[in-house]
């Protein structure tokens, strides 16, 4: 996954500074890691499916959307 210099800086800052939700930090670490998906999954203790979803959302919707949790689309009666 190719990141621009400013995007990589933003993601690195999220992982190192400040107070952020753990899910946001995990989602920020996925594109920053320069390892195989299997290795990232093992290091972060997450599934391959989650890595695929985050990378797909990053590619389709952008950085800000990929970091946060997606709202459910289910309609309750």
For the chain, the domains span: 5-67
Q: Which tokens hold the place of 41?
A: 């999954």
pTM of the model: 0.75
d(C-alpha 20, C-alpha 64), whole Å: 14
pLDDT tens digits, residue range 33-63? Answer: 888 999 999 999 999 999 999 999 888 888 8
């Amino acid at each position: 996954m190719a990141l621009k210099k400013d995007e990589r800086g933003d993601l690195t800052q999220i992982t190192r500074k400040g107070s952020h939700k753990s899910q946001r930090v995990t989602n920020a670490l996925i594109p920053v890691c320069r390892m195989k998906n299997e290795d990232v999954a093992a290091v972060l203790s997450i599934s391959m499916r989650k890595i695929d979803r985050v990378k797909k959302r990053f590619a389709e919707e952008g950085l800000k959307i990929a970091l946060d949790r997606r709202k459910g689309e289910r309609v309750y009666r």
